[in-house]
Structure 1
């Protein structure tokens, strides 16, 4: 009995040691992830000063780390795709909310034109270049062109950062990056879902799948946006912290439902976000701050995880560097400008605005995600194609992304830095404050440079507060408003009726 008891004690001690070793290993993993996260956040400080977009540090840094520490290359491609998909849902929903329906509606036709037609045209021209210059089969060349066609919301939002672009360009640029990602993903799904049969049959089947995904995504996205709007305004929750969680859960519900219905879940969450952008609802500011922070986290996670899938040591052997740089230069300085020139020529934009929009077709997580689909689908020579996509994305983020402020200045596109305002002054109310609206003075609006007593805002409307450069200024009839002033009005009119003097006219 003593021997059995001693053996049992030894087994128990062994199990306990294993459990403690597991706890220690988990703690070490948590420490490594936390330090990596803090380093990623700190890279934003470096990004501001080096003028290199932060996603470049996440993507290249993790790719280098994988070569130095091969044990990091344990994530399967399927897991990477799932993680990046979750991050994109968060980013597209937050990007849609940031634009809002009021800004999106006047530019909807232009955004859809460059977002849909621009993606198709870019994919086609890149396919021709890949076939002629890289010697790829036509179907493989079209898959590569489709992977590289969409711009990326994470990179666009990161490059802009605290910079704000006024006028139509400030809506078209983020609007395109949010709209063409679902288009590119749906087009890739359609191409991968077809066999290598006749060109006509393949094109017909791909077009059918594409239209189906876009239509279902748009309808369910609009329905989901209206449903979330009803919940936000009419259904109270017992705690403040639950309101942002409800919109987050709603965004993923919209994505899941649309995907199950064989629609574009990415388009659905973007549409839902746009419809919720201007909604006045309880705790709206808290909801917006929550999704902005979550979008920043999604950006870090997406690029860091994608970087783990790229073995840099294979690039020279497979010729990925030269092929990728060749396509990157063609895309940035030939293909994109040609496509945008054709699509923008009827729009009333200045030459500088056209050049700026043509230059800022930045690539990022979405092209790399689409490239990963080529690998997981068993496309011939997929590893080489994936490496080429990676090189194009790195070139776009580092070279094009760092030059965006300079190009904006040369093209005379209004871009101003928005200073952080860490202090808030507000009043919490139990009921919705009817008749209280907030507007920001836009460049070229009637309010820009006008005195308060000269504004045409109606007899029943008056300005109660003006916030300028982070401070409150006294308001009188002689107060002259400037671009960027935040104006709080008390009025009996709707938001749209009193927005006119503060919004730049659109032709």
Structure 2
């Protein structure tokens, strides 16, 4: 019984922190400061003003943030889905891999010549600050959602460059320096991690989809837990095989995202909530590692601010801009993607890798990484809504949908297809009776617009963002997708 009250105080503290973190999202809509930044700064201030507050060890931080990233990347893959991913697969792969390498190389050169750090330390810092985080962007956009390929590229790039950045950092630390032999070792280790991670993701995603469909469970609540457990297994298998476990879970999520499976909607909601919890845990834990006094030192604050500004204004626009040339984006869409490459939890996690590696001046380097992230999230992040408005970016307002109607079926329904009409698709701006490419035996049974169920008639005009439920033969799915997706 002696531990009851201390444990109750701990439970109370955890619950209060979680509730405040959730409510910070409402505050974000008013002050345009990303919620992750509020959580990070609050945790950093708390550990300074409360002497008895526990400061976690580097190993515990790494493990907790790793678990959080598994949840975040798997949910990111589910949300992205194969149909959206394949429309922008090339730019996602190019920006996620080549863009990360170019950004790291350019940032390393700037850090080396501007601040006199050795090439190895410059490359470690540059690698840490290369990955991006779209969750920060979407946090400040609130209920507005970026439409078109630019939003898909933003999501896909982050999902790809997180595993790339982590694998590159691990390879650099393993090599322990820069030389001709080290570059070969780094390239070989990186290629191995990416190749194995992708292979495990593809095979594991297909196996998980079969498992979800073929093996029933006795309770509805067990289905989401099964996919969560399998995501952890995929991460473990890929990592033990010397591959990127983060890439494996992201790829598996993409392959499952658009597929039908029992209790799929419940699974998606569970993983969305789990990813939100993971984001809170990651920023709270990382915030507890930040020494605010260290950040105020001139040799930390000034380099961090300068690097953050140059990265946002020069390095990313040039390096990633070159990668986006073949993507065929409109100028305003390309400009927004380049501006919205905000930093998040992964750079700070990679900075903690530098601390754990005990390289020279590690505390200072970690502080510089944190300052770059704070600059990116606070200054860039607060300007994202303004940039979207000035660039006239195509967006739509996504209102919460707390109510749903539906039916439960024992067996998988045949020939039920759900689509969201996209801008420029053959169905966009046309009446239902004008859809010449729609198969004769296809029947549009539901149309939902702005959370309202519409009466379906021949003269009903379809608009971008409409959700359409179509009854048709399963073999017609690709043809239907061409009508509603383009």
Query: Is the TM value for this pair above 0.5?
Result: yes
Task: Give the conservation status (yes or no) of the 8 Å contact 2:42–2:287.
Answer: yes
Task: Give the conservation status (yes or no) of the 8 Å contact 2:87–2:149.
Answer: no
Q: Secondary structure at the match of 2:445?
A: strand
Unaligned runs of 5+ in 1: 1-19
Question: Does the C-alpha gap of structure 1 residues 263 and 284 become closer, same or farther in structure 2, counting only changes over 3 Å?
Answer: same
| CA–CA separation in structure 1 for the residues paired with 2:134 and 2:227 | 20
Query: Is 2:3 aligned against 1:22?
Result: yes
Residues 25-73 of structure 1, C-alpha deviation per residue, up to 9 Å, x if partnerless?
0001100110111111110110112121110111111111111113224
Matches within 5 A, 1:35-434: 35-196=16-177, 199-317=179-297, 319-434=299-414
Which shows bigger deviation, 338-347 or 242-251? 338-347
What value does the CA root-mean-square deviation take over the aligned residues? 1.3
| CA–CA separation in structure 2 for the residues paired with 1:72 and 1:415 | 43
- If the length of structure 2 is used for normalisation, what is the TM-score? 0.97
Q: Secondary structure at the match of 1:466?
A: strand
Task: Give the conservation status (yes or no) of the 8 Å contact 1:340–1:357.
Answer: no
| CA–CA separation in structure 2 for the residues paired with 1:433 and 1:315 | 58
Partner in structure 1 of residue 439 of structure 2: 458
Question: Does the C-alpha gap of structure 1 residues 233 and 419 become closer, same or farther in structure 2, counting only changes over 3 Å?
Answer: same
Partner in structure 2 of residue 498 of structure 1: 480
Matches within 5 A, 1:1-20: 20=1
- Return the offset for 1:128: 0.9
Residues 317-340 of structure 1, C-alpha deviation per residue, up to 9 Å, x if partnerless?
353211111000000001000112
Q: Secondary structure at the match of 2:326?
A: coil
Which shows bigger deviation, 332-341 or 408-417? 408-417
- Return the offset for 1:173: 0.6
| CA–CA separation in structure 2 for the residues paired with 1:122 and 1:202 | 20
Q: Secondary structure at the match of 1:416?
A: strand
| CA–CA separation in structure 1 for the residues paired with 2:297 and 2:433 | 71
- Return the offset for 1:156: 4.0
| CA–CA separation in structure 2 for the residues paired with 1:310 and 1:53 | 18
Q: Secondary structure at the match of 2:424?
A: coil
Q: Secondary structure at the match of 1:465?
A: strand
| CA–CA separation in structure 1 for the residues paired with 2:37 and 2:296 | 20
| CA–CA separation in structure 1 for the residues paired with 2:158 and 2:138 | 9
Partner in structure 1 of residue 468 of structure 2: 487
Q: Secondary structure at the match of 1:72?
A: coil
Q: Secondary structure at the match of 1:346?
A: helix
Task: Give the conservation status (yes or no) of the 8 Å contact 1:67–1:313.
Answer: no
- Return the offset for 1:103: 1.1
- Return the offset for 1:159: 4.0
- Return the offset for 1:495: 2.5
Question: Does the C-alpha gap of structure 1 residues 97 and 127 become closer, same or farther in structure 2, counting only changes over 3 Å?
Answer: same
Query: Is 2:449 aligned against 1:468?
Result: yes
| CA–CA separation in structure 1 for the residues paired with 2:99 and 2:345 | 19
Residues 298-353 of structure 1, C-alpha deviation per residue, up to 9 Å, x if partnerless?
11110111000001012223532111110000000010001122112232111111
- Say how many residue pairs are matched: 484
Task: Give the conservation status (yes or no) of the 8 Å contact 1:258–1:268.
Answer: yes
Q: Secondary structure at the match of 1:71?
A: coil
- Return the offset for 1:153: 4.4
Residues 126-159 of structure 1, C-alpha deviation per residue, up to 9 Å, x if partnerless?
1111111111011000000000111124424434
Unaligned runs of 5+ in 2: none
| CA–CA separation in structure 2 for the residues paired with 1:324 and 1:73 | 27
Residues 247-303 of structure 1, C-alpha deviation per residue, up to 9 Å, x if partnerless?
000000000011111100000000000000011011000000000011111111101
Q: Secondary structure at the match of 2:447?
A: strand
